[in-house]
Chain A
Amino acid sequence: MSNLEQKPFNVREIREEFPALRQQVYGKNLIYFDNGATSQKPKLVLDAINLFYSKENANIHRGVHYLSQRATTDYEAARQRIQRYLGARKSEEIIFTKGTTDSINLVAFSFGSTLSAGDEILISAMEHHSNIVPWQMLCERQGCVLKVVPINQRGELIMDEFDQLLSKKTKLVSITHISNTLGTINPVKEIIQKAHAVGAKVLIDGAQSIQHMHINVKELDCDFYVFSSHKVFGPTGIGVLYGKEDILYRMPPYQGGGDMIARVTFERTTYNELPFKFEAGTPHIAGGICLGKAFEFLETIDMEAAERHERELAKYAEDMLDTFEGLQIIGEAKNKTSVVSFSVKGIHPFDIGTLLDKQGIAVRTGHHCTQPLMDFYGIPGTVRASFAFYNTKQEIDTFVEAVERSLSMLK
């Protein structure tokens, strides 16, 4: 496994690593501001995908032959790299899944099966549908009760309400680290400490945090941390569930099949050890290996400087957008990441998004899979620009001009 050195933060150099950023759409230079939906991929990852299928392709964990052993070694090395990056104690605590949604469903089905009627699960009003629906389904199956921590107008959790809702009945707090729609960074450390004090476990949805800040699961002391590869510069179709070993150990398997068994007879099957107990069937081998490469790339980035750069971008964009008549920034938390969501009075976000697209700018419009949050603000959706560390102020200048032009056409 190669180890690249961390370099001083330089946007121009970082952009060189992302071929997708150097293209034109509709005759305009692409400006990619839809990083909350998915990130672009660095050459290190792209080359690894090509190399895997050209030279290494084989099934893992079973073959005695050269290619299979090499693929197995690389796949397990990726798991170890992710373990080290996250600060997990053991690589057994890193479960490969299909992504954030799959990770949450795994916990909801497996950990959830140990809960009883009347047990409470605590989420927040700013959750993505993938951190709402699996818990609603669990509540229907087992008679658990779902409680929701409300937010204020700025888009921050009301912590007094959290304190009120948290009780001995709470078995799990499942909360997003960063809101995909508002950019709010939640006080997860405080939440974890308070939840542990009443004996509840905590799942942190890291889908929007791992690409923006350095995460250490041991320092956070969360019981689960979940994320998707594709939002953190890796391939689609793979993600991670981190769980504390003793908790994972006690959880029953989620899906049955190959790889997750120790011995199968028609009378009785015994299960494989962690992490394989939760990885039934042939996994996304190339995905796992290339997610490892994405972390190898991340290790070269000064994440503190990257985070500062991203916040500067968001502040710069918000300050300019704020001057437009009728435009309202949705999500004004004191502690927020590089997401700028806005709505404009009398104009549908879909129309703004369509016109920005034709000017070469990729943003997301709509409810962002957070319909309860849109209901809270009483709007059908927002236009969301979400920045990554490879974005620039010049891109924001072009974006703001394009918003201005779009609004003048639509008014």
Chain B
Amino acid sequence: MNLIEKQEEIIQEFEVFDDWMEKYEYIIDLGKDLPKITETNKTEDRLIEGCQSRVWLDSNFRDGKMHFTADSDAIITKGIIGLLIRVLDGEEPKSIATADLFFISKIGLQEHLSPTRANGLLGMVKRLKLEAIKHISAS
């Protein structure tokens, strides 16, 4: 599945929910299932400070593809991280750097990526892309 197909799959999954609370129940479950970053790996350089919640992002580059692990102190933020990683993990740096993450607004979560939300998610997406750009320029 490419980056666009993965996003369309998520949009389809979200179509079954009738109301906001069901949607958030699902996001919370995703957050609970996402592997945690160990406390020792929650270092300053991995931290993306939001005014409300904080995000830690760890990325590495293997066989031409990017891999991410991320965590947050807020479970809803973490659930949305889970969705972002599902879309972007295992992709080539170039696809990540140019990715249009259209699924976020399609499933009604654009407020979480607004600059005023201050939950660290927008900063996380920026850093994901920056990491990808670094690997493009390195290769």
Instruction: Given A26-B20, A359-B21, A409-B24, check contact A354 B51 (CB 8 Å).
Output: no
Contacting pair B52 A355 (CB below 8 A): no
Instruction: Given A26-B20, A358-B21, check contact A348 B75 (CB 8 Å).
Output: yes
- Binary A-proximity of B1-45 (CB < 8 A = 1, otherwise 0): 000000000000000000111001100100000000000000000
- Binary A-proximity of B57-85 (CB < 8 A = 1, otherwise 0): 00000000000000001111100000000
CB distance from B70 to the nearest CB of A (A): 15
Contacting pair B51 A366 (CB below 8 A): yes
Instruction: Given A350-B77, A358-B20, check contact A381 B28 (CB 8 Å).
Output: no
Residue A264 is within 8 A (CB to CB) of chain B in the complex: no
Residue B53 is within 8 A (CB to CB) of chain A in the complex: yes
Residue A410 is within 8 A (CB to CB) of chain B in the complex: yes
Instruction: Given A365-B52, A366-B52, A409-B28, check contact A380 B73 (CB 8 Å).
Output: yes
Contacting pair A410 B75 (CB below 8 A): yes
- Binary B-proximity of A367-380 (CB < 8 A = 1, otherwise 0): 10000000000001
CA of A366 to CA of B116, assembled, Å: 13
Within 8 Å CB of B51, what residues of A?
366-367
When A and B form their complex, what is the total count of cross-chain residue pairs whose Cβ atoms lie within 8 Å? 40
- Binary B-proximity of A381-397 (CB < 8 A = 1, otherwise 0): 10000000000000000
Contacting pair B75 A351 (CB below 8 A): yes
CA of A410 to CA of B21, assembled, Å: 12
Within 8 Å CB of B73, what residues of A?
348, 380
CA of A349 to CA of B52, assembled, Å: 8
Within 8 Å CB of A359, what residues of B?
21
Within 8 Å CB of B19, what residues of A?
27
Instruction: Given A366-B51, A366-B52, A381-B52, check contact A348 B74 (CB 8 Å).
Output: yes
Within 8 Å CB of B77, what residues of A?
350
CA of A348 to CA of B76, assembled, Å: 9
The interface of chain B, by Cβ under 8 A from chain A, is 19-21, 24-25, 28, 51-53, 73-77, 119
Known: A27-B19, A350-B76. 12 other contacts (CB 8 A): A26-B20, A347-B75, A349-B52, A350-B52, A350-B53, A350-B119, A354-B76, A355-B24, A358-B24, A359-B21, A365-B52, A409-B25
The interface of chain A, by Cβ under 8 A from chain B, is 26-27, 347-351, 354-355, 358-359, 365-367, 380-381, 405, 409-410
Give the 5 A-B CB pairs with smallest separation, nearest first.
A348-B74, A358-B20, A350-B74, A350-B52, A350-B53
